[in-house]
A = this chain, B = another copy of it.
Amino acid sequence: MRAPTERQSASETRDRILDAAEALFVEHGFEATTMRMITSRADANIAAVNYHFGSKDALIQEVFKRRLTELNRRRLAALDRQEAEAGGAPLKPSRIVEAFFGTALEMAADTAHGGHTFMRLLGRTYTEPNGFVRQFLAEEYAEAVERFLAALYRALPDVPREEILWRFHFMMGAMSYAIAGTDALQLFAGKFDDAAPERLLPRLMSFLLGGLRAPLPGQGVPGENGRGAPTRQ
């Protein structure tokens, strides 16, 4: 509800649209979210999206760009910090994992500034079939993924790189579901009511590191005893 006489600066309307779109994309997905839903929620005119962004697709890109650039900037900063501490030595896998996935969960815990909303959207989007969004994600992620994979390769020289790549992929999946969180969990256990986001990070981190350091397939019987784990921490 806004007084029609009071005028907003351009950037205010732009930001309101971005926030509204972000929230609606989480709730309904890209396709099911209409321009009218967005502008209505943002208290803006239907033409405002095309005026400020050009098209709906461009708006989607901008929603991602705004948050993703910041997320990967923080990730790389965290990695830089760890590498500076290590002083040339290979990092522990746990430090690398925490720099990448911990930063993401940190952002997801920030409910005040919309970080939570966005991270739920992001986690789902990796597997989403929308062509141009996927390509955009790939470009935006390229640098961060390259550096983190390189760090993991250094940290785990005895593990085949292909295996590390797959496990990184698995970890992304676990994180994605962790952030999607309670909603998807209630799908399994209706009674679930643990609303403690501060406990999520250690929970996920234990799981991820356990998976990353698991014995390689073929070495020892996975179901019997995990001897000869080639990973280290």
Please determine whether B29 and A129 come into contact, CB atoms closer than 8 angstroms. Answer: yes
Q: Knowing A128-B124, A211-B208 touch, does A203 contact B134 (C-beta < 8 A)?
A: no
Complex contact B194–A222 (CB within 8 A):
no
Q: List residues 160-201 of chain A with CB under 8 A from any CB of chain B.
A: 162-163, 165-178, 180, 184-190, 192, 194, 199
**A222 lies within 8 A of B204 (CB):** no
B169 touches A184 (CB 8 A): yes
**In the complex, residue of chain B having the shortest beta-carbon distance to the beta carbon of A202:** B217
Task: Tell me how far the C-beta of A146 lies from the nearest C-beta in chain B, rounded to whole angstroms.
Answer: 9
Q: Which residue of B lies closest to A148 (CB)?
A: B188
Q: In the complex where A163-B203, A205-B222, A210-B211 touch, is A26 in contact with B177 (Cβ < 8 A)?
A: no
Shortest C-beta distance, A209 to chain B (Å), equals: 5
Chain B residues with CB under 8 A of A98: 223
Nearest B residue to A181 via CB reads B169
Number of copies: 2
Q: In the bound complex, do residue A169 and residue B178 qualify as a contact, i.e. CB atoms below 8 Å apart?
A: yes
- A212–B213 CA distance with the chains assembled, in angstroms: 12
Interface size classification for chain A: 35 or more
A225 and B214 contacting across the interface, CB-CB below 8 Å: no
Contact residue among B27, B95, B188 (Cβ-Cβ distance under 8 Å from A169): B188
Contact assessment for A26 and B170 in the assembled complex, using a CB-CB cutoff below 8 Å: no
Nearest CB on B from A24, distance (A): 10
Chain B residues with CB under 8 Å of A175's CB are: 173
Knowing A205-B217, A215-B206, A223-B92 are in contact, say whether A126-B177 is a contact too (CB < 8 A): yes
Q: Known A170-B174, A203-B217, A211-B174; judge A223-B95 contact (CB<8 A).
A: yes
Please measure, in the bound complex, the distance between the C-alpha atom of A195 and the C-alpha atom of B31, giving whole angstroms.
31
